[in-house]
Chains A and B, each alone.
Chain A
């Protein structure tokens, strides 16, 4: 099974500042057949289910603000919130779908 490790566990960022969340997979999720990274990002606000933000590591879902960006390849990925807004307070999860689906442990983003 692929183990997804997120860092940090939590971070506090000032409004308008950049938040960076890391996700590392125990083996590559880059497919050689289609050159795609099999990775998604979700946002979970308190008391709500997860919401899909990004798939294929960097493809934003329709309606997701462009301050959310995904990057990385192979085993190392990053979710960046370029200018943190109050409504971005949440726990963020990465998920690989290269093999048996698995999620990272989550990163809690708070306002400093």
Chain B
């Protein structure tokens, strides 16, 4: 079955760039059938969609993060990545990667999700 696994530093200093990678197994991210997404969850809080990337490399971001988020895809490794610049304490969260189902050229719902990775922002 499809599995996703996040990886990356668990600690990032304020003002620096957060970098995470999601490795996908059981599905080809270049197939174009799904939209590959990042979602985050601050401790004790709800979920926030960050953005999505297609197998073609096309991206779309939440408007509130658009200026700081960059997503990319590496089809040779079946991975996609997130970079979030100029992080602050407000960016501390569990970051999930997920496979998104598309309808009408937009990502809609997510299944499955990775286990998540905790990112702390501290000097």
Contact = CB atoms under 8 A, between A and B. Distances in A.
Contacts of A111: none
A101 B110 CA distance: 11
A44 to B, nearest CB: 9
A50 B47 contact: yes
A97 B114 contact: no
Interface of chain A, helix or strand or loop or mixed? loop
Contacts of B107: 97, 101
Interface in B68-108: 96, 98, 101, 103, 106-108
Interface size range of chain B in the complex: 20 to 34
Interface of A: 1, 38, 40, 42, 48-52, 55, 61, 93, 95, 97, 100-106
15 contacts: A40-B109, A42-B110, A49-B112, A49-B113, A49-B114, A51-B111, A51-B112, A55-B108, A55-B109, A97-B103, A97-B108, A100-B49, A101-B49, A102-B49, A106-B46
Interface of B: 45-49, 62-63, 96, 98, 101, 103, 106-116
